[in-house]
Structure formats: C-alpha cells, structure tokens
Amino acid sequence: MKINKDLVVEDITRRQFLNITKAVAITAAVGSFTVKARAEHVQPKLPYAMNALEPVISERTLSFHYGKHHSGYINKLNNQIIGTKYADMPLEKIILATAGNPQEQSIFNNAAQTWNHSFYWKSLTPNGGGEPSGTLKQKIESSFGSIEKCKEELSTAAGTQFGSGWAWLAIDSDQLKVVKTSNAGNPMTQGMKPLLTIDVWEHAYYLDYQNKRADYVKAILDKLLNWEFAAKNLSS
Ligand code: FE
C-alpha cells in the first residue's frame, strides 16, 4: 500500500493541533475552576423532580423559578464578591454582614435571595401540608394557641405582604412567630431562626395563579408545606 506522506504529515499535524487545543481547553477549565472554587456558591439540587409539585406549582413555574431566578441570584452574587472580603465567607455570614448597609444592598439582596430560595425548596415537599407533630406541634400550640391559628397567621402574612417578599415561621428566643419580610429580607437579620418559608414574589405563582396569591398560599398550606423540615430546623 502506498502511503501518502503528505496526508500522514497533515493528519499528525491536525491531531497534534487538536491535542494542543484540548490541552489548552483543559488548562483553561481547570484554571477557571481553581479561581472560582474559593468564591463560588453553588446552587443546591432541587430535593424533588421539577414536576413533583404539580398541580400546585407547575413544572413551568418551577423551571423558571429554580433555573432562571434562583440561579440568577447565585451567579450575580458570585460575580459581585470575587476579590472582596466576602469572597470566602459562608453565605449566612455575608447576609448578616451586609444587612442594613445601603452600600452593600446589592450583595445583601443576591446573598439573601440565594439563601431564601434554597430554604424555600426545602420548605415544600410533594404530599406535604397536613399538620405537624411532636415537639413542633406542642411549640406551635403554646405559641399560637392551635395549628389552625398558626396556618391562619402564615396565610395572612403571605397575603398581606405588600409587593415582593416572604412569609416565615421562625423562632425568636423560645417563641415561635410568623413574620413577613419584603424583597430579600430574612428574619435571621432580626436575630430569629427561620423554620420554613413561603415565597410570595409574583415569579413564584404568576404563571399558575396570575393575581390570585391567596389561592397559591392556600394550596401550599394544604398540600406542600414541609412540616418535617420545620421540625428539623427547630431541633437543630
Ligand atoms: Fe422566588
């Protein structure tokens, strides 16, 4: 068989070129990973499938909410803190360090929205709703009078939050409270520990419920609220 030397040379050269290109790409990828590894906050995986909360929250809503809104806050936060004193701080520390500081408002917003959404996904669960049990149940009864009263307060807080924000069940010293926060607010900045939350930004429900926020909140309370998550937070 006659070997065409030109072709062989050309082939080797092309292969070498491809290998070099690959090596450069790998170096670049490793390089960028190394740079980001110190500062990067990573979006946690959803604790259920994208369609697992249907029909209360549609796959379409969840894919935008998780894939665009939540990931957007995380990307912005990562970009904002590179090279700053916040680069190596845990998320909760960033939130507490920037809360109430007008100069750090944007970092606070993206950090808190990153935290709030990760917490919100866990505050929901397929086949949730119903009633809490054990210590959480006792604590709710001693703080609110009854489970029903606690749910009413959550529903009122979620319904009356003017504009974008969150409704929370939180513990303040030894007392459980329902609080609402606007925009990216989080009760941890007021010394409370969040137990669960409901996102009442329009992006959380508008595709499914349009302007009927009360219907979205009721459906969450009845069918998705993750009382076990709240109980775990109470005991930790
Ligand atoms: Fe949201």
Any idea which residue has 């929370």 for tokens?
168
More confident residue, 152 or 19: 152
- The average pLDDT across 173-181 equals 96
Distance from the alpha carbon of residue 204 to the mean position of ligand 1, in angstroms: 5
Distance from the alpha carbon of residue 2 to the mean position of ligand 1, in angstroms: 67
> Mean pLDDT for the chain?
87
Distance from the alpha carbon of residue 183 to the mean position of ligand 1, in angstroms: 10
Q: Summarize pLDDT for 201-235 with one digit per residue, the tens.
A: 999 999 999 999 999 999 999 999 999 999 999 99
Distance from the alpha carbon of residue 113 to the mean position of ligand 1, in angstroms: 8
Question: What's the pLDDT score for residue 38?
Answer: 52
- What domains can be seen in the chain, in order of their start residue? 62-123 (1.10.287.990), 134-235 (3.55.40.20)
Whether the predicted pLDDT of 27 surpasses 50: no
Taking alpha carbons only, the member of 160, 148, 162, 169 closest to residue 222 is 148
Distance from the alpha carbon of residue 200 to the mean position of ligand 1, in angstroms: 7
Distance from the alpha carbon of residue 116 to the mean position of ligand 1, in angstroms: 8
Distance from the alpha carbon of residue 31 to the mean position of ligand 1, in angstroms: 33
- The average pLDDT across 122-130 equals 96
Using the CB atoms, write b or e for 119-128: b if 16+ within 10 Å.
bbbbbbbeeb
Whether the predicted pLDDT of 24 surpasses 80: no
Distance from the alpha carbon of residue 86 to the mean position of ligand 1, in angstroms: 23
Round to whole Å and give the CA distance between 182 and 203.
Answer: 14
Round to whole Å and give the CA distance between 122 and 78.
Answer: 22
Distance from the alpha carbon of residue 65 to the mean position of ligand 1, in angstroms: 6
Lowest mean pLDDT, pick from 24-28, 70-74, 132-136: 24-28
